[in-house]
Structure 1
Amino acid sequence: MKKKFYIFAALCLINCTVLAQDKNNIDQEFDLLKAPISPASNLLGFSQSDIDKPTDVSAFMASLQTATNSFSQLPSNYAIDIAPFWLFKKESLEDITTKGLGISRGKKVLKETLVLSFAVKNTDTISNNFNPTSTYAALGFRFSIYRGKYDKTTNDKLTTITKLQKTKLAYMKIKHDEVYDKLDYEIKNDSQQRENLYKGYNYNDQSPKNKFYLETLEKKADSLSSIIEEKIEKQLESKKMLEKLKNVNVTDNQKLIDEEERAKQSEMIDDEITKIAKEFQISRVNFTWDIAGGISSEFRNKNFNNSKVYNSGIWTTLGYTWEKSGSLLGLVRYLYNPDKIFALENQVNNIDNVSTLDTGVRYIIGKSQSKFNCSVEVIYRSVLSPNTIDSSWRLMLNADYAILKNQKLTFSFGRNYDGTTTKDGNLIAALGFVVGFGNER
């Protein structure tokens, strides 16, 4: 029986979205959706930009796109990107601090920036690049070797959050110290009471009255044993928490604050952190370096059992970001195209196994903390296989605007490599919507 690939992809999108939304209820989120990054959609030719700017990633990101037709048709291109480190991270005290997130390189950066990308493309008779009876799917990856440093605004807000967190952790340590000591006293007191229950009891008296009295004492002892066990469990929980808080420093002034005042101040700290987080954007500047790649397949007649490799590739993006004057990015990308390649305008190349090398630059206009960014991108595609086909090029103008936190509207317009889809035969226009989930830090 034939299985429709787009049905499967839609179900995956729905399930992943529900998972991500459930996870969002845990903590206050940061706005991390600085720029759409989807290596899989790069391979299928419907990404907003081929040259992506490295950013801190969402745990889960979904994007929908429609192209041309006056934007009157339903979205036909879908992409899902997940960051395994953030999506499946364990909850711990380290997750609520900012320590380590400012590191620009190293093994931890590789894990935190790794993105696994999935994309699906459906087309119509307008496009000459893809077979309208087929569905195309791609798998990709991306990670940062250098992810840049926090800009001044990010550093200032993180410093404020760190100070607030240290104060709250100190209050937590004081509270658990008090709870541990109080439970320790109560456990010893209850144990002594249980031991004293049988003092003076005459075990030689076998009268019914004395036996009934013994049963009463045993019930009281069992009740005290249950209470003691519950308090021991609570004491062990406090001990574990104190072990996690062993490096937290507590000042003498903080120790003098009474429990009611500490609870009030802890609530105020939570409110202040939430207020900062609502407007907070993690932005990075200076040098960045990304590696990405992937592979795509064509599913003929939208059938899993009838497929072939469409293309595959690997690429790197290097760039530099300034706080006030935007970003300059460069791309080097190798693509392997079995069976055919679309490097000529409106023509399908029938030469098998052709490899290409893309080189290009992109300049993004916009401050590091800006909600609106626009860019211009130019890429030259050279053919590595001699005596085959001519080279081609791509010129794109891109714009994106953060309409809400972790929600971005994108627009791209320009000339694609194959030069298809609109009236004059060499322009492409696309409108997209991107949403990110699971951005607690």
Structure 2
Amino acid sequence: MSLSEDLHKRRLAAVARGVGSVVNSYIDSAGGATLTDVDGREWIDFASGIAVTSVGNAAPRVVQAVRDQVERFTHTCFMVAPYESYVAVCEQLIALTPGTFEKRAALFNSGAEAVENAVKIARHATGRQAVVVFDHAYHGRTNLTMALTAKNMPYKHRFGPFAPEVYRAPMSYPLRDGGLDGAEAARRAIDVIEKQVGAGNVAAVLIEPIQGEGGFVVPAPGFLPAVAAWSSANGAVFVADEIQTGFARTGHWFAGEHEGLEPDLVTTAKGMGGGLPIAGVVGRADLMDAVHAGGLGGTYGGNPVACAAALAAIETMRELDLVAAARHIEAVLVPALRTLASSAPEVAEVRGRGAMIAIEIVEPGGLTPDPVRTAAINKACHDAGLLTLTCGTYGNVLRFLPPLVISDEDLQRGIDILARAIRG
């Protein structure tokens, strides 16, 4: 019995079945864009812990910053006895997110927690209750964020009832929109909002600039600016969920920058912490400061160790110019995938930006999703030592999220494994 098999046996006796894993190999060490399991098998990492280890696993600056902070102190709770690193992370969020207006920020533990607090802030500041989200959206696993999330299985199934005053509008999904451009798709969504919710009732319009779990859906150009403009004109808070897309992942610091967005609020997490759990909400000062003292916070929010990691991760992104690195990954990965797609009729589309790229798998000759074929390709990648992920409302999208520090050699090795998996 291998060490991974032994660990898996122990897991079955100790870990709740509701906690799933993509593979049954257990990781012993990791660095850059590779993982090594307890049996010595090396994996090329096209997952980054779901877009978390953008600066690479065990990034040197992050490791050193964490060590230094742990030796000084591990926790005081910022709401009890504050510390400089929390302030410094908020300053970085203010500097990096789009928008030249005055901003404030607050720190939390996870993406879902950031989204919940963005909704709290929008409701408090506007005095309204309705929250508008979109088809194929994913915003988290807590009760409110499950209500915001579109996909039933595995995220929402039998976990209701969910939080009220959440309304869903149609997303721009170019592959499946029958030719609608961004402006037309926005008019369709706005029409639903105005008829079914009422503009005067909307506290927040919450959207991922590129959808994550929903299938790496990149809306048609013009869709996001039109929805943002409608929100501004009608007193609704426009919230960009940049939890998966933020921090250089798409070839900008934030994905909304591709279309010149200046959201009222931005939620962040994942790549922000270099592997440690930290999240944030940053946005217009008048909105953020509308909440009474004590209305935002949490025992571990902005933990000093996580703050140290975040500051080191941001410094690494700047020093290594990982914004440019994401664009380079796109320049290598997308043409290779399009070459594969030209001889693979099951690949309906190659899409994404930067190092957030996906292929959608369908039954040849149409657009019928093929989750079975998608799962088979995914497994073939795993069997050959490439860690990939699936996603999408229909379970038919393969997504690629390599660390932004991946070498050209490892990137090409991953592409070669994927090509063999697709060709069968």
TM norm. shorter chain > 0.5: no
TM-score with structure 2 setting the length: 0.20
Between structures 1 and 2, the one with greater strand share? 1
Rg larger for: 1
TM-score with structure 1 setting the length: 0.20
